[in-house]
Structure 1
Amino acid sequence: MVTSTTAPPARRPGAENLVRPVGALVDTVLGSRGCLFTFHRVAAPDRWETLPNRNFYLDLAFMDRLLGYLKRTGWSIVTIEEAMRRTRRGTAGDRFVNFSVDDCYRDTFEEVIPLFRRHGVPVTLFVTTGIPDGTLPMCWAGLEDTLLNNDRVVVRGETIAVPTSEAKRAAYDRIAAAWDQDTPELRYAEFCADNGVDADAMDRKHAISWDMLEAVRNDPLVEIGGHTVAHRRISSLSAAEAFAEIDGCRKRLQGRLGVAADHFAFPYGRSGDCGPRDFDIVREAGFKSGATTRKGLVRHGQDVFRLPRVTLGGAQRHLALAELHLTGVSGVAARVLGRV
């Protein structure tokens, strides 16, 4: 069980019980439903509070509570492979959840997989192969780490004081937004030089390795799928470039780990990031499914190459909000607001 010296955020006890009846109504209408959750990194509650990019991380104690809650309330936690089987069957009353980790970092191996093992349930790893290969610089992790462990940083000749957690978060948002409009890899290399950061050591500190992936490749509670070679936005690429990112990832996983790597998740994954052409490319590359980050439930007859997934961010530490995702309410709201 995950423990921490920091108490979890205050929440209304039992608030999730007020939402759960909506799920019963959904079951009556739909017959079966699945919800695919995705996240990137995890951190213990006391560390989570200090992180400059903390919404990128799930509170590990909340994940522990959520897994326990799902098991107590009759949800099946399954692989993507099993979710596809259940989607085809559409058995009345069937309720299932999948959890997938996108990108995959060292904490996937050190924290996420052990937590899921303790609960006896599977987790899906959508691996960006450039991370264990060391060809994709850990720009955002390196920026965050440097801010977290220093009281000031130098950015393009400007010294920025970051003495508090609030100042570090503000600096991270400002710097990351500027890098995202430019060439992050080049800006990060300049940042490392200006601040005496060993980029290779930073990569080793945060990246998942092939040795780690080899250690779990035969674990029945670990499913391994693809998330491109270099985490590029597929819709922005030519058809040939997109195929190389998608097919190259699958072939690298198969060749290095000897796994089927049958399932794929799009980087970013919203409507502007992947479309019909890209769904077809995933199929052509030999994958059995393609997952987006468009909120919604998985239902009988679902197009398996445009699977909806709900992204869990760090601020989402309430079971009542998880119930809104499980009932599909958050997906409806996202479509109404145009956040797809």
Structure 2
Amino acid sequence: MVKRAAIVAGLEASWLIAATGLMRQARGRGVIFTLHHVRPQVDQAFAPNAHLEITPHFLDAALRRLTRDGYRFVRLDQLPALLAEPEGGRPFAAFTLDDGYTNNIEYALPVFERHGAPFTVFVTKGFAEGSHSIWWETLAVLLHQAQEIRFDFGRGSERLALDGPQQQWVAFDRFAWYIHRFDEARGIAALDTLARENGIEPTDIARDLVMGPAQLQRLARHPLAALGAHTISHRALARLPEAEARIEMEVSADYIEAMTGIRPATIAYPYGTPEAASAREAALAGRLGFSVAVTTQPGLPAAGKTGYLPRMSLNGFYQKRRYVSALASGIPLKIMGR
């Protein structure tokens, strides 16, 4: 809560500064936005993935605000050419949606159509095929349904009581730490086993949430939509051997090309943090023919760095129109000293 309060304060201050016309130079040439789920809000006391979802109403408000602020909506694969243009032109906004959730076509697409805004959906092969689980979604369901669980975080089996939201949040954070700090595939496999022991099938959750091949093919035919690569398993590439990271990236692109007939020019690194995606992955993306590769690190795109581009998150905790203006302004980055 302290962190969220600080972010809100920074966004409010940035919006006020931007509204006065100060620090215009912070805006840069444009902005790439990160989204995940777009769907109506359901209020729950325990919602560990709430930051990954926004409402269709807020997406519509964001597009209206950006239009009012003078932004043009562009395809992500246009960025190399746009960033090569002289500075001082009309700023651009590109929209990206990670993981390929069904609500992207059900709720987000009509909003993008209303505004004529192109967008890119990054597809994880294992999610789309239902062969891999989405661990953070599995974990949310498990902790919501179970009264208690037992799990070995590396020091023997432990009992975790789940009597209320506070204990559920603590358990979620422990699992997330375990998965990110050790062997990710083994950690997810252990979580999937625990879920099945509690009557939950993780791959069913993925199939319910994510677009399958037929939906992805239909989306790819839409003039505003493009599909980008997002690996096979959604593991942190920087923690994999280079050969395995290359396979994750290349096979993801092969999958989209085989399904749609179009080889994707863009890729999003899973998680997208400095720990999950490094300069090695940027070099791999270039060698594999991706013209644009994006992280989740906050920032505005700059010329010459299209293999490791930052994005600004439209976060479920901060669904106010003025925060969209604040994020696009680049002023929050200056406040953070970036």
TM-score, normalised with respect to structure 2: 0.83
1:95 match: 91
1:305 corresponds to: 307
Over the matched positions of the two proteins, sequence identity in percent amounts to 24
Q: Measure, in 2, the Cα distance between the counterparts of 1:167 and 1:119.
A: 42
Which residue of the other structure, out of 274, 288, 291, is the alignment partner of 2:291?
288
Secondary structure of 2:120's partner? strand
Give the alignment partner of residue 276 of structure 2, picking from 273, 291, 300.
273
Q: For this pair of structures, how many residues does the alignment match?
A: 320
Residue 229 (structure 1) aligned with residue 225 (structure 2) = no
Shift in alpha-carbon separation, 1:321–1:160, aligned structure 2, 3 A: same
CA contact (8 A) 1:34 1:83 kept: no
Mapped partners of 2:21, 2:99: distance in 1: 31
Determine whether 1:215 maps to 2:213. Answer: no
User: What letter corresponds to residue 40 of structure 2 in structure 1?
Assistant: A
Distance (Å, rounded) in 1 between the aligned partners of 2:15 and 2:206:
43
Deviation at 1:334, TM superposition (A): 4.4
**What per-residue deviation string (whole Å, max 9, x for no partner) do you get for residues 126-170 of structure 1?**
11111112222122212223444x36253437463445x565444
Matched residue, 1:5: none
Q: Which residue of 33, 37, 43 maps to 1:41?
A: 37
1:144 corresponds, among 128, 140, 143, to 140
Partner residue, 2:5: none
Residues 167-223 of structure 1 show CA distances to partners (whole Å, capped at 9, x for unaligned) of 544443344334444533222222223211133422221222111101111111111
Equivalent position amino acid for 1:197 in 2: I
The structure with higher relative contact order (CA 8 Å, sep 6+) is 2
Residue 94 and residue 169 in structure 1: after superposition, are their counterparts in 2 closer, same or farther (change >3 A)?
same
Does 1:18 find its partner at 2:13?
Answer: no
Structure 2 counterpart of 1:76, from 61, 68, 72: 72
How far apart, CA to CA, are the structure 1 residues paired with 2:86 and 2:160?
A: 58
TM-score, normalised relative to structure 1: 0.82
Find the counterpart in structure 2 of residue 177 from structure 1: 177
Return 197-206 or 222-231, whichever deviates more.
197-206
8 Å CA contact retained: 1:58, 1:314:
yes
- Give the superposition deviation at 1:34: 0.8
- State the Cα distance separating 1:89 from its structure 2 match: 1.5
- Whether 2:123 is the aligned partner of 1:127: answer yes
Please give the root-mean-square deviation of Cα atoms over the aligned residues, in Å: 2.9
Counterpart code for 2:161: I
- Please state if 1:86 is matched with 2:72: no
Distance 1:60 1:270, change over 3 A: same
| Residue aligned with 1:19, SS | helix
Which residue matches 2:149?
154
Q: Secondary structure at the match of 1:271?
A: coil
CA distance in 1, matches of 2:13, 2:331: 15
C-alpha change, 1:63 and 1:166, in structure 2 (3 Å) is farther
One-letter code of the match for 1:203? A
Distance 1:22 1:237, change over 3 A: farther
In structure 2, the CA distance between the partners of 1:176 and 1:331, relative to structure 1 (3 Å rule), is same
- Which string of whole-angstrom CA distances, capped at 9 and with x for unpartnered residues, describes residues 260-292 of structure 1? 311111122233333332212111111112112
- Is it true that 1:250 corresponds to 2:248 in the alignment? no
Cα distance change of structure 1 residues 288 and 143 upon mapping to structure 2, 3 Å threshold: same
CA distance in 2, matches of 1:321, 1:232: 31
Match of 1:322 among 311, 320, 324: 324
Unaligned runs of 5+ in 2: 1-7, 152-157
3-state DSSP of counterpart to 2:309: coil
- State the alpha-carbon separation in 2 of the partners of residues 254 and 25 from structure 1: 43
Alignment partners' CA distance in 2, 1:303 and 1:222: 24
Letter of the 2:88 partner, please give it.
A
Q: C-alpha distance in 2, partners of 1:116/1:162?
A: 41
Displacement, 1:328? Answer: 1.4
User: 2:124–2:234: 8 Å Cα contact kept in structure 1?
Assistant: yes
In structure 2, give the amino acid aligned to 1:321: Y
* One-letter amino acid matched to 2:319: R
